[in-house]
Amino acid sequence: MAPPEESKLVAEAKKIPVEPTHYSYTERDVILYNLGIGATEKDLQWTYEGDDEFSALPTFGVIPQFLASSGLPLDWLPDFNPAKLLHGEQFLSIKAPIPTSGELVNHTRLLEVLDKGKAAAVTSVVETRDKSGTLIFENQSTVFIRGSGGFGGQRTGSDRGAATAANAVPKRTPDAVVEEQTSSSQAALYRLSGDLNPLHILPEFAAIGGFNKPILHGLCSMGISGKHVFQKFGPYKDIKVRFAGVVYPGETLITEMWKEGAKIIFTTKVKERDTIVLASAAATLVDGAAKAKL
């Protein structure tokens, strides 16, 4: 049942059928992703398929769903212009052990559309299952489309638990801090995991967007920080970030982490410009993993 303040426009958009998408991958794709978010030749559990503990880093869960979430039709929005789309937030819930190869199926649906006046905030959900039907990942992705607001929709979103938590930073020193310099070719490598947007590789395309040079994928920054959380505190069952700023390949990311019960609240900033790029961010540790590996 639609929320009482949901506009007819949005209610009709939710009825638009979205075909399932398929994602097939091998251990090579897992290694490529792990390398794309900064794993090195020393991290054999992430970069050598023959290692006894070979695995995908948790944030690999954003990869199988990427084309599914970006394929959601949005041209029903007023004055829709794909060039004015910004990735605002991402929430990943890991529902089962991550296979290191396989065939997955993504089912996408429109969850919520907010009228922000000068922009629309669109949240979609992608459920990723294996061939047996087991749910492996759930992603909730929020994009902002500038210039598409003012359609009379609801202005405030619903509480979706960890996916919408504010994750205010505690007023104390972080429990863990990890600093990692990205490489100048980080975006060129990460894009091979599926996000081929020229914004991340073509200088002239980045210039159209108002950037001095190609920028790093937001999901790559999320993956790097997710790796830091994993290294310091162990496995987590969900992770959420808000994309608050851009990162240029070659810049240094600093992830500051605070342990609050089973939740690890974190922020990520660019060292060279002292600017926050990931905010309202947190990961929920899996049961039994709450002992910090400091």
Beta-carbon contacts of residue 161 (< 8 Å; ≥ 6 apart) = none
Cβ pair 170, 265 in contact under 8 A: yes
> Token pair 């039994």 is at which residue?
288
- At residue 75, what are phi and psi to the nearest 5 degrees? -70, 0
Helix (H, G, I), strand (E, B) or coil at 208: helix
Give catalytic residue positions.
Answer: 195, 200, 215, 218
Report the distance separating Cα 121 and Cα 109, nearest Å: 15
Angle between helices 218-233 and 27-36 (to 10 degrees): 90
Report the distance separating Cα 16 and Cα 148, nearest Å: 19
| 168 bridge partner residues | none
* Nearest in space to 254 (alpha carbons), one of 245, 56, 237, 262: 245
Beta-carbon contacts of residue 10 (< 8 Å; ≥ 6 apart) = 2, 110, 113, 153
